Structure 1
Amino acid sequence: MAAPPHFTGSLGYPPSSPSPRSHLHCLSPCNRAIKVSMSQNQSYWTCVTQKIEDQLKQLIPVRPPLLVYEPMHHLVFTARRTMAPALCVATCELVGGQQPISPNQALVVASALHLVQAALFTHEQLPLTDRPIPSNPETLTHHHAFAAGVELLTGDGILSFVYELLGRSDDPAGGNSERLLRVIIEIARAMGSEGMVDGQYRKMLCSVLGSEELCDVGWVDHVCEKKEGRLYACGAACGAILGGGSEEEIEKLRNYGLYVGKIHGLMLYYHNNRTGGEEKGFTDLVERCTSLALKELEGFNQGMVQTLSSLVRASFWDKC
C-alpha cells in the first residue's frame, strides 16, 4: 500500500519542522563534560549514543572463555538499537543531575537498558522449530550466527549480567543507593510480564495466528505501548531518578518516554507491514502520541526541551 501522506522516511515518522539546534552539548551523565573529538555539526544524540557504545565495549569485550563472550558480544552489538538508553542520559541532565551520583552511573544504567533490549530481542528472534513461520519479516531475515540453544542461554545470561552491572555500580559512600535500587525496580517492571514480555507475547501471537481482527491498529497500539513504550518510559524515568528529579518530573518524563516509544514502535511496525489499508489509523495514533509527548515537556527548561522534543520530529526518525 502507498504510504499515507503524513508518513515519510525509512520508518515513516510524521513530518514536522526541522529539529531545532540542540541546547545540550553532549554532556556526560549529569552535566560533566565528555572529552571527545567531534565536529560542531555532530548532534547531541549521536554523541551520547557513541558514549554508550564505548561503555558497552568496555563492559563486554571478546575474551576467554570465548564460548561465553563471543556470542554475548555478538548478540549485544547486533541487536536492534533504540533511543531509550540515550534518553536515560538526557533526562538525567534535564532535571539537573543533582548529587550524589557517580560520574558514569547514568551511562551504566543506559548500557543496562540496551542489554535488556538485546536480551529480549535475542529471545524474540529465536527460530520457531515447532510453530508456524510468523509473518514478521524481521524474524525471517535475522541472521543467526550461533545455534539456537546458545542464543537462548546467552540471552538469559545477558539479563543476569544486567543486574550484576547495576549492583556493582552502587557506591554506598556516595549516598546514591536508594536511587539505584529504585532504578533496578523500574527496569525489572518494564521488562516483566506486564511490560515488554507481554508485548512480545502478543506480537508473536498475532504473527503466528495471522488474524486480521487480532492484528488491527488497536492491537498494534497495545503491543507498542508494552514493548517500545515501556522501554522508553523506563529509560526516561531512570534518568530522572538518577538526576534527583522530583516525583512530578519523574512521572512527566516517564509519560514522555512512553509516547516516544510508542511512536517508534508504531512506525517500525508500519514500515515492516505495509498492508491492510490502516494508514489513517496509524497517522492518527502517531499524531496523538506526538501531541501528548510534547505536552509532558511543558514546564521544563526550554533550551533543553528543544533537544528532547527532537525525538518526536520526522527529521530525527528519517535518519533511523
Structure 2
Amino acid sequence: MDLKDILDAKLKIIDDALEQYLPKEKNCQDIIFESMRYSVFAGGKRLRPILMLAACEFADGKIEDVLPFCCAIEMIHTYSLIHDDLPAMDNDDFRRGKLTNHKVYGEGIAILAGDGLLNYAYELMLKAILQNPVNWERKVAAMYEIASASGIYGMIGGQVIDLLSENKQIDGETLDFIHLHKTAALIIASIRAGAMIGGADETMMACLTEYGKNVGLGFQITDDILDIVGNEEKLGKKVGSDIENQKATYPSIHGMEKSVQKVQELFHKSVSAMEQYHEKAEFFIRLADYLVKRDY
C-alpha cells in the first residue's frame, strides 16, 4: 500500500477519536471548547499520534488501548503550538494556512485554550486507565513518558532555551539541545509510549528510541531548511520567520549544504536502528524517508 494511503488511514482513526473525545457541549464556557477544537482541527500531519499508534501495533498491542494516549499527545502538541504562536513567543499570524488561535479568539482565550488542552490530555489518559485497567502499569509508564517529555526537562525546557537564544549567537551544541528537547523529545515519547502500551521488549524499545531520536532531529533540521527554501502555500505558514525572529537554525550555524548532509546522515541512522526487524519495520523506514526529505 502507498505510504500516503497508510498515513491517511491512521490519520482518520485519530481524527475520529479526537472528534469523539474533545468536548463540544453548549454551556457558559463553550468558547473554550470552540477555541480548543479550532486549533486541533486546523489541519496537521498528526505525526506524533500516528507514530504512537504505529509503535503500539509494531509491538502487537491493541489500537483501543493506545488511542486515548494518541489523542492526548496531539492535544499536548497543539497546546504547544497555540502558545508558541503568541506575541510573547514567536508572534505568528498563521498556522497550517489558517489564522492562529490568538488572532481569532484573542490572547487570553488562546492561552486558556492551550492550558485546557494540556490539562484535558491528562484527564483523558487517566480516565482511560481507570476505565480499562488491564496492563495499567504499562499505561502509567507511558503517561509518565509523555509527561516528562512535555515538561521542563523536555519540550518546555527546549522552548525556554529557544526563547533565551533569540538575538544571540549560539553554538551548535546549544542548538542541538533546543532541537532535541523542543521537537524531538515529544516524537521520541510518542514512539516509546506506544511501544510501552503494546508491551515491547527491551531490544525493541532501544531500537525504536534510537529511531525516534534520529527522525525527530532530522524532522526539525528539515523544518529549519524549509523556513528558508520552502513553499509558504505548501507549508501553511510564513517562510523566513526564523530569520525575522533572529533565531539560530542549522543552516545559519552550519550552512545549507552541511544541514542537508546532516539530514541524510540522520535518515540513514534511523533506518539502521530498525534494520533487524526487516519487513516488519517497513512503515517506519518509509516514514523516515518522507519526513526528512520534504520538498527541499
Determine whether 1:318 maps to 2:273.
no
Aligned positions of 1:153-302 closer than 5 A:
153-170=112-129, 175-206=134-165, 209-211=166-168, 213-214=169-170, 217-273=172-228, 276=252, 278-300=255-277, 302=278
Q: 1:56 to 1:279 in 2, by over 3 A?
A: same
Unaligned 5+ segments in structure 2 are 230-250
| Distance in 1 of aligned mates of 2:291 and 2:115 | 36
**1:70-118: CA deviation from partner (whole Å, max 9, x where unpaired):** 1111122237544121011111111222xxx5x5121211111111101
For 1:152 and 1:79, locate their aligned partners in 2 and report how far apart those are by CA, in whole Å. Answer: 20
**TM-score computed with the length of structure 1 as normaliser:** 0.75
Which moved further from structure 2: 190-199 or 165-174?
165-174
Unaligned 5+ residue runs, structure 1? 1-20, 23-40, 129-133
CA distance in 2, matches of 1:308, 1:233: 13
Give the drift of 1:140. Answer: 4.9
Deviation, 1:220, is 3.5
Query: Alignment RMSD, CA only?
Result: 2.6
> Structure 2: which amino acid aligns with 1:292?
K
Corresponding residue of 1:15 = none
What is the Cα deviation at residue 44 of structure 1?
Answer: 1.3
Distance 1:145 1:273 in 2: 27
The secondary structure found in structure 1 opposite 2:138 is: helix
Question: Which residue identity lines up with residue 240 of structure 1 in the other structure?
Answer: A
Q: Distance in 2 between matches of 1:298 and 1:267?
A: 23
Preserved contact between residue 49 and residue 74 of structure 2 (Cα < 8 Å): yes
Matched, 1:105 2:65: yes
TM-score, normalising length: structure 2: 0.81
Query: CA–CA distance in 2 between the matches of 1:222 and 1:146?
Result: 33
Contact 2:80/2:114 (CA < 8 Å) preserved in 1? yes
2:12 pairs, out of 22, 44, 50, with 50
- CA–CA distance in structure 1, aligned partners of residues 46 and 163 of structure 2: 20
- Aligned-pair CA distance for 1:317: 4.8
2:25 to 44, 63, 72: 63
Query: Going by fraction, where is helix more abundant, 1 or 2?
Result: 2
- Structure 2 counterpart of 1:176, one-letter code: N
In structure 2, the partner of 1:122 is 82
Higher relative contact order (CA 8 A, sep 6+): 1
Check whether the contact 2:153–2:181 (CA below 8 A) recurs between aligned residues.
yes
Number of equivalent positions: 266
Q: What is the CA-CA distance between 1:175 and the residue it aligns to?
A: 2.4
Percent identity between the two aligned chains: 22
SS of alignment partner, residue 96 of structure 1: coil
Letter matched to residue 69 of structure 1:
F
Shift of 1:139: 2.2
* Letter matched to residue 233 of structure 1: I
2:51 is equivalent to residue 87 of structure 1: yes
Instruction: Pick closer, same or farther for the CA change 1:156–1:279 going to 2, 3 Å.
Output: same
